[in-house]
């Protein structure tokens, strides 16, 4: 008979991709999180319809007292049951041989930790939720850590950014449709991201002595970047909202995966070799998952 695994809470998970809102901590060996639904207070005997995670995977549920807890279950070669909680809910990663009964027993044993963390994330999201950008003359969007004011009616008839005034001149009339304004501004932000990220990749690839095969922007909802084993790197364009130091951290992180396709101690040593301040940057991104950025 197989010995029951030891369950381990894991707020930071190992993946060859840089998944958000959680980042792997140095030495972490858990599996990657998937979005799941939060707990609900449905009484026993009144189970709600089982929802689906954003990626289409089925959510399991277990009733604990008067509450129904939904979670995504992932199977892996790991030796213990791992728990991961983020703003979207609970993900459990368990060995392939572990039974659902064992998993539910582990959930019951860890219920205090699970419910506490779910409430903490719910509170954090509510406190940090930002309003949508009001697309009109004078609207502000974050760019490299600073607010940039949108000014309609560019006198030169072209899109122009002034770092001195922290203003983006947009060649549209004052009565322009909000969607037009959004498209112009977002297009500029993505263009800046493409240019700047490429420059930073070249700098840090040279520092590390590696070559990446290709680079592209992404619009992922739950991760800031990824690096595939064949050397293809993707960076979330919305990183352009953050200071340059944060961008550099994600760039260094993804390039380090060309040396170590994991989140082992050797991986973090590789990151630190080209970006010593990675701990502070990682903590900043932990507190600012993509869903808490201004809705563009």
Of 106, 128, 150, at which residue does a domain stop?
128
pTM over 0.85: no
Inform me whether the pLDDT recorded for 231 exceeds 60. yes
Residues 179-222: pLDDT tens digits? 999 999 999 999 999 999 999 999 999 999 999 999 999 987 77
- Which of 10-19, 185-194, 257-266 has the weakest average pLDDT? 10-19
Instruction: State whether 31 and 115 are in the same domain.
Output: yes
Q: Is residue 36 part of a domain?
A: yes
Dihedral sign for Cα 222, 274, 246, 24, please: positive
pLDDT band at 66 (very low <50, low <70, confident <90, very high): confident
Q: Is residue 133 part of a domain?
A: no
Instruction: State whether 159 and 188 are in the same domain.
Output: yes
Instruction: State whether 174 and 277 are in the same domain.
Output: yes
Instruction: State whether 144 and 286 are in the same domain.
Output: yes
Of 76, 104, 128, at which residue does a domain stop?
128
Instruction: State whether 146 and 282 are in the same domain.
Output: yes
Task: Report the share of the chain in percent with pLDDT over 90.
Answer: 43
How many separate domains does the chain show?
2
Q: Is residue 134 part of a domain?
A: no
Q: Is residue 135 part of a domain?
A: no
Q: What is the pLDDT of residue 295?
A: 52
* CATH number assigned to the domain comprising residue 242: 3.30.2010.10
Q: Is residue 76 part of a domain?
A: yes
Q: Is residue 179 part of a domain?
A: yes
Instruction: State whether 170 and 270 are in the same domain.
Output: yes
**Domain of 288?**
140-292
Q: Is residue 230 part of a domain?
A: yes
pLDDT band at 54 (very low <50, low <70, confident <90, very high): very low
Q: What is the pLDDT of residue 84?
A: 87
Rounded to an integer, the average pLDDT of 5-9 is 53
Of 72, 95, 128, at which residue does a domain stop?
128
Residues 166-182: pLDDT tens digits? 999 999 999 999 999 99
Instruction: State whether 103 and 186 are in the same domain.
Output: no
Q: What is the pLDDT of residue 161?
A: 93
Instruction: State whether 61 and 199 are in the same domain.
Output: no
Instruction: State whether 107 and 197 are in the same domain.
Output: no
Instruction: State whether 116 and 187 are in the same domain.
Output: no
Q: Is residue 79 part of a domain?
A: yes
Instruction: State whether 229 and 95 are in the same domain.
Output: no
Q: What is the pLDDT of residue 145?
A: 86
Instruction: State whether 184 and 152 are in the same domain.
Output: yes
């Amino acid at each position: 008979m197989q010995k029951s695994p030891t369950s381990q809470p894991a707020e930071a998970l190992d993946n060859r991709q840089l998944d958000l809102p959680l980042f792997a901590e140095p030495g972490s060996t858990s599996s990657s999180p998937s979005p799941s639904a939060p707990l609900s207070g449905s009484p026993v005997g009144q189970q709600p319809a089982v929802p689906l995670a954003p990626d289409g995977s089925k959510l399991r549920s277990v009733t604990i007292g008067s509450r129904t807890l939904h979670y995504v279950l992932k199977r892996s070669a790991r030796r213990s049951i791992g728990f991961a909680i983020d703003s979207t809910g609970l993900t459990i990663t368990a060995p392939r041989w572990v039974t659902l009964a064992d998993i539910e027993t582990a959930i019951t044993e860890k219920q205090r930790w699970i419910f506490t963390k779910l409430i903490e994330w719910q509170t954090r999201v509510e406190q940090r939720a930002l309003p949508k950008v009001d697309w009109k003359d004078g609207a502000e969007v974050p760019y490299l850590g600073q607010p940039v004011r949108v000014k309609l009616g560019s006198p030169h008839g072209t899109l122009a950014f002034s770092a001195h005034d922290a203003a983006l001149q947009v060649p549209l009339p004052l009565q322009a449709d909000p969607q037009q304004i959004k498209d112009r501004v977002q297009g500029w932000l993505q263009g800046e991201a493409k240019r700047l990220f490429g420059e930073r990749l070249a700098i840090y690839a040279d520092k590390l002595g590696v070559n990446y095969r290709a680079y592209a922007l992404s619009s992922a909802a739950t991760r800031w970047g990824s690096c595939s084993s064949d050397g293809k790197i993707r960076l979330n364009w919305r990183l352009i909202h953050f200071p340059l130091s944060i961008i550099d951290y994600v760039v260094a992180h993804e390039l380090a995966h060309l040396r170590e396709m994991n989140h082992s101690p050797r991986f973090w040593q590789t990151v630190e070799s080209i970006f010593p301040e990675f701990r502070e940057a990682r903590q900043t991104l932990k507190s600012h998952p993509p869903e808490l950025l201004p809705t563009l």
